[in-house]
Amino acid sequence: MEFLKELRKKLHEIYGIYTPKDKKKMLNILYSDYSIKQKIIELLMTTQPTRERINFYPDIYRNIFIEDPIEILDLASGLNPISIYFSDKKPEKYDYIDISTEIIQIVDYIFSEINIKGEGYEADILDLPEDILKNYQYIFIWKTIPLLEKIQPGYTNKLIDLLDFDYLVISFPRKSLRRKKDIGKAWIPWIKKLAKNKNLYIKKEYEIPNEYFIILSRKH
């Protein structure tokens, strides 16, 4: 039990890199006179992963949706769910999990403004709520696996076994946080080997300057 607590503590410390530091700034954006589109852009600019995707979101969604989206689950989501605004095709439901209460509240508010149905779960990826261990058409795990494998090597293998999906959309950063190492080159063969061992089919690969995406499926 103590071991699991320590793992979660480390996860929170590392994941803090990807969460907005200035909560007051986020609230100011929400209560500003900006249009909803501008609010979403300003919020996405507050964290590194979403900021790096800001000019690519429409193209990302055009490429990762093998079928028209109906239901999505976003693990360790951060503010990413609100980027669905930039997709030409909106899902009927978008559920998400994050360790931050503020993130859950912000996403919930934006979803209500853009008419997206979804459920936010305040939880960490090491202890998934039973409610989400059901089939989803799409499950997103974006830029999270390197962090998971750092604190608990082998957990990704177990995580994929827990998840029920039609399409699993995984992404990896192209560079390390300090931009010194091209870590994408190491993770691409790693995830492909894992997919092969689990009889998962690679449906598509796609990349933007700072991120590599791979879409996996259990069906051919």
What pLDDT, in 10s, does the model give residues 22-72? 778 898 999 999 999 999 999 999 999 999 999 999 999 999 999 999 999
Q: Which pLDDT belongs to residue 190?
A: 96
Percent of the chain with pLDDT over 90: 77
Q: Is the pLDDT of residue 102 over 60?
A: yes
Q: Which of 4, 2, 17 is nearest to 151 (CA)?
A: 4
Q: Which of 173, 147, 153 is nearest to 50 (CA)?
A: 173
Report whether 41 contacts 58 (CB < 8 A): no
- Calpha distance 51→42 (Å, rounded): 9
Q: Is the pLDDT of residue 12 over 80?
A: no
Q: What domain count does the chain have? A: 1
pLDDT band, very low/low/confident/very high, at 184 (cuts 50, 70, 90) = low
- Calpha distance 134→163 (Å, rounded): 7
- 212 is written with which tokens? 């590599």
- Calpha distance 157→59 (Å, rounded): 29
- Calpha distance 69→90 (Å, rounded): 7
Strand 211-217 to 201-208 pairing = antiparallel
CATH of the domain at 91: 3.40.50.150
- Cα four-point dihedral sign 33, 35, 40, 45: negative
pLDDT band, very low/low/confident/very high, at 81 (cuts 50, 70, 90) = very high
Report whether 158 contacts 185 (CB < 8 A): no
Q: What is the CA radius of gyration of the chain?
A: 17
Parent domain of 51? 2-217
